[in-house]
Amino acid sequence: MDIWLIGTGDSIQIRPASIHGMLWLQTHFEDAHWDALASSQVRLPQLDAEALSQDAKNAGMSLGHLSALSVPGRF
Residue 75 has pLDDT above 60, yes or no: no
C-alpha span between 23 and 15 (Å, rounded) = 12
The 8 Å CB, 24+ separation contacts for 47-54 are 49/5, 49/11, 49/12, 49/14, 52/14, 52/28, 53/5
Distance CA 8, CA 44 (A): 10
The tens digit of pLDDT for each residue in 15-43 reads 999 999 999 999 999 999 999 999 999 99
Considering the entire predicted model, what is its pTM?
Answer: 0.84
Q: Return d(Cα 33, Cα 68) in angstroms, integer.
A: 23
